[in-house]
Amino acid sequence: MALVLVTGAAGGLGRNTAEALAGEGHDVVVHVRNPARLTGADDTARWKGVITGDLAEPAEIRDVARQAAGFGRFDAVIHNAGVMNRPEDVTVNTVAPYVLTALMDKPARLVYLSSSMHRTGSTDLRRLGTGSASYDDTKLWVTTLALAFASRWEGTSSHAVDPGWVPTRMGGRGAPDDLTAGHETQAWLATHPDVTPSTGGYWHHRQTRTPHPASQEEQFQAQLVQALERHTGVTLD
Catalytic residue among 98, 106, 112, 139: 139
Catalytic residue among 98, 112, 135, 202: 135
SS3 for the chain is CCEEEECCCCCHHHHHHHHHHHHCCCEEEEEECCHHHCCCHHHHHCCCEEEECCCCCHHHHHHHHHHHHCCCCCCEEEECCCCCCCCCHHHHHHHHHHHHHHHCCCCCEEEEECCHHHHHCCCCCHHHHHCCCCHHHHHHHHHHHHHHHHHCCCCCEEEEECCCCCCCCCCCCCCCCCCCHHHHHHHHHHHCCCCCCCCCCEEECCEECCCCHHHHCHHHHHHHHHHHHHHHCCCCC
Residue 139 annotated to the active site: yes
Could you list the active site residues? 135, 139
